[in-house]
Structure 1
Amino acid sequence: MPLPSDALPDYNGPETPVQRSVTVLHVDDDADFCDLVSIYLERESERLEVLTAADVDEALDTLDAVDVDCIVSDYEMPGRDGLEFLETVRERELDVPFILFTGKGSEEIASDAISAGVTDYLQKERGTDQYAVLAHRIENAVEQHYATREVERGFSAIETAREGIAFLDEEGTFRYVNAAYAELYGYDREEMIGKHWEMLYPEDHVQQIHEEILPSVPENDRWSGESVQQRKNGDRLVVDHALTYTDDGTLLCLVQDITEEKEVERTLERERRRFEQFIDAVEVYAIFSLDTEGFVTSWNQGAERLKGYDGEEIIGRHFSVFYPEAKAEIGYPDELLETALAEGSVQDEGWRVRKDGSRFWARVLITAVFDDEGTHQGFLKVTRDTTEQHERVRSPDAPKDLLDYALDVLDDVFYLFDPEGNIVRVGEQATMTGYSREELLSMSPLELFPPEVRPRVESDIERALETGSATTEAPILTKDGETVPFEFRKRRIVDEEGNVYVAGIGRDIRDRRRRERRLKRQLAQFDEFASVLSHDLRTPLSVVRGRLELARDTGETEHLEQAESALDRLDELIEDLASVMREGELVNDVTAVDLGAASRSAWDALETAGATLAVATERTIRADEGALARLLENLLKNAIEHGEGTVTVTVGDLEDGFYVADDGPGIPESERDDVFEIGTSVKEGEHGVGLASVKQLAVAHGWEISVSESEAGGARFEITDVESV
């Protein structure tokens, strides 16, 4: 229900989108294409006025000077791309529609654009029909923007609030109540408007409101606390209540029902007192009282003896503190409470942890506690130490008949779990984790994995028990903190007595992962070539087609000159692409190569002027000697040209590769993602393919290459995933 009309300001609404022109800022680093888009958009709609900018900096200057209604931007541009431009625009609190109009289209870019909050996403296509579509998208986006802004000025937030909200006049009568407020008291809103607030209070509480609460509101600017009120049917309720006055004397009231919480508190306090009267007499078992969330409210002396805590230390702490860290992190204790609440009780058996960190094997019964009306009050948890019985079962000879085939000479890691997920046997190779076999037998298997993968590992163990087999890929967490990728194959087996176990083999898959990474990089390089064909070549072609169509329509020959210029650009791009692709074909004869000697040989083949080479490696790597020479020549030449002859270049070792670093001017961070692309200039005024060839040579070897800043502030190229001899 809206506020009464006399409480709302007069407002006729803003000028609608139909009444106004639309100023569009189009940002694209291709000037010819930008001009073409402007011509077609303004031909498609008289409402559109198009401003253009060649890059993000020029666009931001335009936004400082002109109010625009919509921004249309390319994705791939020098300096900052379209999504970085969007981020800068939103940081300026400019919420106008933002349309990404790009020739470099992919599901990944589209997904990133949507996640970043673009208003619309449109891929550049062939022909001129796309400009009509773009004009239509612009007009729709602008109209939707202004319509949405008007809606947000309403009272929707108040209407949908979960808390009860009411406005009262100076006489204490209701002028407005939201749906939550009326529902709380069991009235229709029409029944409350115009009525006095006293209708919501028992007679014995009205005087307190007049004498204590209302006078304190103007004195302290607000009042908050608990109040006893009554519903339409006469039932009493307890509310969390807040009051304050607005400048015009309107009393703003917020309420939230806390009746149930107060009743639970009273019931738990009664149960706690009753429980404490008898639990201290039982010391053989550790007995705990837990609230509905699993926090300890009381326990007996048997619990103090078994767990090692005193009452002051443990009261108020969650009972998950008694479980091994790995099980606590995946929420295992909370799952037990959920099962107990759903089924009445749950039994559990496994390792528990004392205050001093020592472990013991325990058998546990957790029972949900309810009052006479069926309201959940908490849990009763009874624990007994069964370590001695468990150790007899865990003797190395226990599942002997199952392990005769699992010899310690296996290269892989052999393991055996019981149905509770505890390790009962491991092969000698399991000590690669850094733990002894004795330590492993006292641990939960989940402790051998990083916390983020433990839920998945536990789920796979359960699946192996249920279905008979399961396979898991997950990193092992060694004792010294190293992670090693592993593949685990698990199978359920049953001994002659009917006992169920999970047996499995764990295999180190670091070499396989390395091969997968190399293949992925090679595929990514092919995708980049495809991107050049689909984006860099498409834009000049689009310009050619557009200019030819304009020449036919207008008869103006200057459009033919622009088309010829675009065709020249096509020739350059095709020649660069062919040159880079040929580099990869020359990597085939892989042998052991002295990296230091190869670096010096490449240096001697260059005009080095006053530059200096420092070789800080004695490593021998596996590479195609000729291809490695071309890679090093390109990197060294790049450093010399940028350092203008006085640079020092260092070739040194990395853990899994090598680096080439210099003390020259470096590469700006905003340009580092683009330096390996075909057509990127290596020096101002030049159009080169040197660094694109470097990446192709690295990928053809199966290596990874990246660029960052050196310690001296220059450029640092790192080549990794290199196999050493």
Structure 2
Amino acid sequence: MDESIRVLHVDDEPGFAELTAEFLEEADERIEVLTASRASEGLERLGEERVDCVVSDFEMPGMDGIEFLEAVREEYPALPFILFTGRGSEEVASDAISAGATDYLQKEGGTDQYTILANRVLNYADTAAAKSQRERQLDAIEAAQEGISILDEDGEFTYVNEAYADLYGYDSEKMLGMHWSALYPEDELSFAREEILSTAEEEGGWHGSSTGVRADGSTFVEDHTVSTTERGELVCTVRDVTERKERGRALAALHEAATDLEAAETEDEVYDVLLEAAEGILDFDLVAVDVVADDALVQTAWTLDLDTEGYYEETPLDEDTLATRSYHRQETIVVDDLSGHEVTPADPEYRSVLTVPMDELGTFQAVSRATGAFDEADRELTELLVGHAREALTRLERERELRQRTEALERQNDRLEEFATIVSHDLRSPLSVAEGRLELVRERYDDPHLDELSSALDRMSTLITDTLTLARQGQLVTAPDTLSIAEVASRCWGRAPTADATLDVEDATVRADADRLQQVFENLFRNAVEHGGDDVAVSVGLLDGGEGFFVADDGPGVPEAERGEVFERGYTTSEDGTGFGLAIVAEIVDAHGWDVSLAESEGGGARFEIRDVGVVGRETK
């Protein structure tokens, strides 16, 4: 099953569209962005490819964003649509929402806007997918529960299903042979004869609202359809509009709850909204949320009375309960009567239960002291509500992990900077004193040992410089730029001691820190010349699949047994080398979140492959 989230971004500025696509795809590996420069092109792509969410500009030639939205809604009424525009006004926002936009975002400076957009895309796409699945289930449920009956030429029932009989409060078998007029109040009979039956006979069918009367004398508004058959029979389908209106109000209230869940900033806020909706919208009295912790379901939020007999604080996952079953199976469990059930309830007074899994997070459970308290509508609405809560909790967990990772990286940067400062100040000062004293000694004495001492001091200076570079280049890359590999590589090649060496570059665009990417190429070029000679041939190209790039040469290469050691600090095959050059490359690659490895080139030399870069486009130069 394809788990990718395909986003269609329509914007008449190709540069901005490409930048937005890059940020969205970097934000989450599931996101795949399709682009279009006009609304008409966007409509064509919608007809040709699967799209999970549309992001559109407002001001575009031919058809603006609102007109595009209206065209999309005609064919794809449930497809998430986000208006992402630089023109911000209450009028545009109002028009967008009125036309059916899922959301409205204004373009701003900085990269935070892309993070917000990515989060909205993920939430709306996931919610739409879940909603689509739930709506398919609801459609099947509604069809199965729809009241259906058949009348003969005399207007008497020859067939009624259970849903039809239940709707009017009769036993289905006792309704057979009953005349249809028994289901209408006196003042509705003339309407039924002159409007419903007459229209059905003349036109083959009728659909509209009418008033039904139940066995107990109560009335209700019914959505009524009557169709004729070739044998002169009438097929009637009836729904209780009153019940459907209540369901509609519940769905609208759940939508508001979903908005509150999306805005929740803590787990406690999510639980508060979840319990409030369960009580106020679904009319559940006894509710508990169990969260997985230390191989147990721990009751974290509840409306249960803490003094209730049998109350529990946690349940081991290996214990057999309805909650653990629902969690392990990842399926909703509804029990109409717990008396005599194989699983004993926490409180013997509980008679029915509804348990919904929250993926790997835990379970949501509603219980009642009445039998059959939860019908299919309760189940579906609860799954919808719990789905929104689960998404909110998952979002908060991702945000917390991101904050923790960012804080850890910032601490790492601080430690590296502190180390670099110590090296710079505490080592260079005595080294400078030693170099000065050496010059004074040279003025008084002519001794060959002084040349060796000078070489040692020079090597110490080089080691300090490389150590500083290694520390600072390993810091987290927080503000990458969009760079051309060809331009950076060519600039670095001009600075390297290349002599008669040659360079061939296949261009691509990458997101990187300019100075540190330059350091990577300089070190790799210097390494190629030092080991391959003045006439070495070096090539820079893209890896298959566009997942990164490589720097290769036709020099002597590195034995396979030693390739895992070349990036270690201090590794060198040269008497004059410090062993920091390739270690610095590895640190810079790691700071970008990339990966580097060494292989053999086509010419038998070294081939440094840098992956997980995310290159865009290619052009041979």
TM-score, normalised relative to structure 1: 0.27
TM-score, normalised relative to structure 2: 0.31
